[in-house]
Amino acid sequence: MANNFPKFHGITLAGNAFIENLHMERLVADPVPVSAGRLWFNTTDKVIKYSGLDAGGAVVIEVIATGASATLLASRVTTLEGLVSALQSTSVFKDGSVAFTGDQSMGGNKLTNVATPVAGSDAANKDFVTSAIAVLGNAFEYVGVVDGGADAAGALDLALQTKKEAGDYYKVNVAGYFKVGAGAAFYANVGDGLIFNTTGTVDKIDNTDSNVAGTVGYITVTGSADTGFNVDVDAAFKARVVAVEGGLAAEIIRAGGVEAGLDTRVGAAEGAITTLQGRVTVVEGGLAQEVTDRQNAIAGEVTRSNQAIATAVSAEALRIDSALSTAISGEVTARDLAIAAEATRIDGALSAAISGEVTARDAAILVETDRAKAAEVAVDTKIGNLSSLTTTNKTSIVNAINDLQILAGGGTDALKSAINAKVFLFTAQAVALTHVITHNLATGYPDVSISVKGDDGVFRNDIVAYDETDANTITVFLTEARIIKASIKDMTAIA
């Protein structure tokens, strides 16, 4: 169940803070602590244990004694004191060694041949044990971890360590530079081993394991450091690219069809408008000619009537005697009145006819003009107004669509590039307590997500501390050396 819980890589309580309902970690077997201060309850031994330091600074496991264990220890001390007293009463002590005066029995084991033990039950004195150890040579002893210096000038001097005998082994906790006394500085990676040899210098054991990791859904990596690595684009990502390309091709085909349809509809609308304009021109020309013809006819009729009347009057005047001048004058006056009345009637009828024709023609022109405007509005409604387009080229629908296609293609790539440029993915290649991530996003508002790899190889969202070292760097701090994954996003707006 513990694997389902996030790990806290360091918790600092506020002043005067405290923890309620604290339950100690329960383990069937003791862990291998890497530093002092860890506390747990061993359910097998049924005791509380903790990690401490021995006199040499090495991490060791200690037990917190209970009342029962203290009582048992006191009992064992008493028994041991009795055994020592019995031993002293039967032995002669000299030069720090025990020399028995003869075969002695204690607890059923005989102690014989003290100086030169032979049998498995024989005891041995200090001189014999020291000589036996001396011929064993150098033994391997793990001392602890060390941190390297930042550069050769600041290299850690291993000659200053407490334990530096042949076989003393140190593990590199932080990669850096090391040296032994006045010897040349050398570089060691995290996990490398440093062991003192018989000449007083140090041999480096390279424990670095090369690894190349991919990104799920984007990059796949196969192979190994022994056979070589193969890096390829992830199949899922390839499928997404093919899908995007297919969708774009379909969209281009669809836009071409729409463009062809618009060309046809615009051509038809333009033809209809041209036809309408021609019809309006014909109507206006016919109406103007009709008015001219009617006016010419009226003027001709008036001229003919006047000429006929003048001829008749002249003939009648010649035929009638001057005696009839008064009668003729009266008749002329009557005829003049009649002619004026007839001219007035003809002018009124003609004016009414012309006015009615003009009114009818004007109404027809207005109806035709309204129909043309309605058709133009319908065309504008269907295809829109070119002046309202947001594209750069507005000279025609075709140019506007081509401009839009160019802008859409370049804009999509630019948007993807802008989004990708604001994201940085990181996977550590080796375990470490501190991971420095150089993302180079140049942002003061990074969104940082960190996962820590567990012993089972699964990454989890542990609670870890990190510093925004600067606008281009994130430094992650762990309490146990682990591999991490991180995603960092620049949360500022895309310009």
| Contact criterion met (CB below 8 Å) for 170 and 143 | yes
Phi, psi of 308 (to 5 degrees): -65, -45
The percentage of the chain sitting over the pLDDT mark of 90, rounded to a whole number, equals 24
User: Rounded CA gap, 269 and 282, in Å?
Assistant: 20
Q: How far is CA 428 from CA 223, 224, 271, 291, in A?
A: 19, 17, 70, 98
pLDDT of the residue at 400: 73
> pLDDT for 164-216, tens place per residue?
888 889 999 999 999 999 999 999 988 889 999 988 899 998 865 556 666 77
SS3 label, residue 147? strand
Among candidate residues 298, 299, 302, the one with its CA nearest the CA of residue 353: 298
Residues 60, 61, 64, 68, CA torsion sign: negative
Confidence of residue 80 (pLDDT cuts 50, 70, 90): confident
User: Rounded CA gap, 301 and 309, in Å?
Assistant: 12
At residue 385, does pLDDT exceed 80?
A: no
Element housing 283 (H / E): helix 235-319
At residue 457, does pLDDT exceed 80?
A: yes
Say what angle helices 397-420 and 235-319 make with each other, to 10 degrees.
160
The per-residue b/e assignment along 172-188, b for 16 or more CB within 10 angstroms, e otherwise, is bbbbbbbbbeeeebebb
User: Rounded CA gap, 363 and 375, in Å?
Assistant: 18
| Contact criterion met (CB below 8 Å) for 460 and 470 | no
User: Rounded CA gap, 401 and 385, in Å?
Assistant: 14
User: Rounded CA gap, 405 and 248, in Å?
Assistant: 10
Element housing 327 (H / E): helix 325-383
Q: Which residue has the higher pLDDT, 448 or 373?
A: 448
Region of 364 (left: φ > 0; alpha: ψ -120 to 50; beta: rest) is alpha
Which amino acid makes up residue 182?
A: A
Confidence of residue 271 (pLDDT cuts 50, 70, 90): confident
Taking the whole predicted model, whether its pTM rises above 0.85 is answered as no
The percentage of the chain sitting over the pLDDT mark of 70, rounded to a whole number, equals 77
SS3 label, residue 345? helix
